[in-house]
Structure 1
Amino acid sequence: MTVNWQGVYPAVTTQYNDDLSINFSATQAMVDSLIKEGVDGIIALGTVGENASHTREEKIAILTAVKEVVNGRVPVLSGVAETSTQFAVEFSQACEAIGIDGLMVLPGMIYKSDEAEAIHHYQQVARNCNLPIMIYNNPITYGVDVGIEGMKTLANEKNIVSIKEATEDTRRISELFSAFDDRFIIFGGVDDIALESLMLGCTGWISGLTNVFPKESVAIYQLAKQGRYVEALEIWRWFLPLLRLDTVPKLVQCIKLCEQLAGRGSELTRAPRMPLTGEERANVERIFHQANNNRIDLTKINTL
C-alpha cells in the first residue's frame, strides 16, 4: 500500500457551542483556515480533538463534516481511540465507509495493555479494514511501547504504513530507520522535539500547536526539509515555549486557550476537562502573549 503522507499534520481541535454541542461550522472553518495556511494533512479526533469525549454517532458526524470541508485538498486521518479492540475495528470500518483517507490507531483505552496485547490490537484493526494505518506509539501517555521487535511483527501487515513516534526519545527515530529503511513513513509526534525529529529524517510532524501558529509550523518543516537549519532555528527558538504546552497533561485546554487568544477558536472543552484557571491560566496566557509579541516576520524568510 502506497501513500504520500508528509509535511505538517495538525491534530485539530473540535469546536463546541456554549451548551457543549458540536459546533460543526466553526470546526469546518478552523480546518479550512489551516489548509489555506499551508498544512499538508489533517488529523481529526486525536487527543487534541477530544476523541473519547464523543459518542460514535458524533465522531462520524465530525469526520463527515471535516471530509466535506477538506474536499480532497489534503489527506484526512482519523484517530482511533476505543476501549476495546472490537470497538476499534468497528469504528475503523465506519471511517472506511465514509471515505476517510487513513487511520491513526491508538492502543486500547482505559486498560493498559502490554506490548503483545497492543500488537494484537493493531493487527486486528489492520486485518479488518482496508485503510492505510499509522501506529501511534506514545508509551508516556498510554503506558505501552511497541519497540523495534514489535514493529517487525507489524511490518507484516501491508496496510500499516506509518508510525507516529512519540516516545520522546529521538534515538528511536534512528533505530526505526536502521531497522526498516523506508518501510514505514515516520512522523514526529512530540511538538517540542519536532525540529530534532525532522533533522533525523522524519517525513512529517503531527502537531498540536500548529492549530495556533500554522504558518510558522509549515515554515519550520519546509526549512528543515531543505537543510536550512539555521533559518529554521530562528523560528524554532521563538516557538519552543509554546510547543512545550503540547507535552503537559492539560495540553488540550492549553492549546484551545491559545487558539482562543489567537482568535482561531474557542477554549471550550467537554468534562472532565475543565477550563484553566488561576496561575495555570495566567502562565499559558503569558507564554502566548510573549510569543505573539515576539513573532518572527516570515516575510523575511523565503521558504520555497
Structure 2
Amino acid sequence: MTVNWCGVFPAVTTQIAEDQSIDLPGTQRVVDQLIRDGINGVIALGTVGENNSLDADEKIMILSAIVEAVNGRVPVITGVSEYDTRRAAHHARAAETAGADGLMLLPPMVYVPKAHELVKHFRGVAQHTGLPIMLYNNPPAYRAMIDDTVLGALTDVDTIVALKESAPDTRRFTDIRNVFGDRYALFAGLDDVALEGMYLGAQGWVSGLTNAFPRESVELVAAFQRGDHARAMAIYRWFMPLLHLDAEHDLVQTIKLAEQVMGRGSERVLPPRYVLDGERRAEVIAMVEHAAATRPALDVVRAA
C-alpha cells in the first residue's frame, strides 16, 4: 500500500493476557475497532505498543497479526526501536516481509549518538529496506536530536519521507518548513500540541489518546483540514486534560487504562511497567469518565 502521510495514525496498544502472554486476538480487535472509527493509519509497536518490552520474534508476531487484521484498509507503519543499527536493519527487513507498509525509525536506544552517527544509523537502516520511513524525533525521551544538520544530510535518501516531531518546542515545525519546504511530511507527535502542530505545517498526528477516543480525534483533524477551526478548537479544548497524559512518564499505563475505561481494551502491561494503582489510578479513571460524560456531540460541536 502507498502511504498517504496525512491524518490520524494512532500508536496502537499491544494487548496482554492475564498470564502476561501476548493477546493477539485482543490486539487485532482494538486495531479493527480503530479502523471502523475512521483512523487513517496504524502505528504498530511504538512506545504505546511496548516495543522495547518485546523480543524480536514477538514483535514480528504482533506486526503480522496487525497486518492481518488491517487487511489493506489503512497503511500499517511499524516502530523500529533497537539498540543498534544491525538490529534495527534486521527488524526493518523482517517487518517488510511481514507486510508493513512503512517504518517509524527511532534513534538507537541507550547510546546517545552524535549527529554524524545518527545520520549513519538512519542510512544504515534505509539501505536494507525499500519501505518508506518516518523518522521519530523525541529528544526528551531519547536524548538525541534530529536537527537540521541530520535532516539536511538525509535529503538524498528517497525513502526517508516523513518526520514525527515530538520536541515540545512547536517552533520546530516552522523552522523545518522554512529550511526544507515540503521535503519531509511532518506529523505532530505529542498529543497536547497536536493542533498547534497542524497550524504550523503538520499533515498528520501520531496519537496515543486516540486509542480511547478515536472518533473525536478523527473529527478534530478533519475539522481543521476543512477549515472549521471553531469545531477543531472545541474538540481540542475538551480533549486537552487527557492529551496531557501523553507527555507523562507513565503514558503507556494511562493510555491503556483509558482504553479499558472506554471498553476498548485492557490496561495490562508488560514489566518493567505495572498497572497504575492508588491515587494516580483514581485520578486517571476520573479524568476519562469526565471526558466520556462531556464528550462533544460530533454533529453539533460549537466553539467554547
Which interval holds the TM-score relative to the shorter structure?
over 0.9
TM-score, scaled to structure 1: 0.97
Q: Could you say which residue in structure 2 is the equivalent of 1:218?
A: 218
Displacement of 1:3 in angstroms is 4.2
What is the SS of the residue equivalent to 1:43? strand
Partners of 1:281 and 1:155 in 2: CA distance: 45
Aligned mates of 1:161, 1:123 — CA distance in 2: 13
The letter for the 1-side match of 2:191 is: D
Counterpart for residue 23 of structure 2? 23
One-letter code of the match for 2:288?
Answer: F
Question: Following superposition of structure 1 onto structure 2, how do residues 175-214 of structure 1 map, counting pairs within 5 Å?
Answer: 175-214=175-214
Q: Distance in 2 between matches of 1:99 and 1:260?
A: 28
1:242 offset after TM fit, Å? 0.3
Q: Percent identity?
A: 48
Aligned residues: CA RMSD: 1.2
Aligned to 2:269: 269
Partner of 2:125: 125
- Matches of 1:114 and 1:276 in 2, distance apart? 36
2:294 maps to 294
Aligned-pair CA distance for 1:154 = 1.2
Q: Report deviation, 1:301.
A: 4.5
Structure 1: give runs of 5+ residues left out of the alignment. none
Q: Residue 227 of structure 1: CA displacement?
A: 2.0
Runs of 4+ aligned residues of structure 1 deviating over 4 Å after TM superposition are none
1:162 aligns to what SS in structure 2?
Answer: strand
In 2, the alpha carbon distance for the partners of 1:201 and 1:208 equals 20
- TM-score when normalising by structure 2: 0.97
Separation in structure 2 between the aligned mates of residue 219 and residue 230 of structure 1, nearest angstrom: 12
Question: Deviation at 1:120?
Answer: 1.4
What residue number does 2:51 align with?
51
Alignment of 1:19-168 (within 5 A): 19-168=19-168
Q: Aligned partners of 1:30, 1:215: CA distance in 2, in Å?
A: 14
**Correspondence for 1:240:** 240
Q: What residue is the counterpart of 1:231 in the other structure?
A: 231
Letter in 2 for 1:284: V
Higher mean displacement: 277-286 or 42-51 = 277-286
Residue segments in structure 2 that go unaligned for 5+ positions in a row? none
Paired with 1:123 and 1:247, the residues of 2 have a C-alpha distance of 29
2:59 partner amino acid: K
Q: Distance in 2 between matches of 1:193 and 1:225?
A: 16
Distance across 1 between alignment mates of 2:146 and 2:233: 31
One-letter amino acid matched to 2:127? R
Distance in 1 between residues matched to 2:41 and 2:211, nearest whole Å: 12
2:265 maps to amino acid? G
Deviation (angstroms), 1:8: 0.1
- How many residue pairs match? The answer is 301
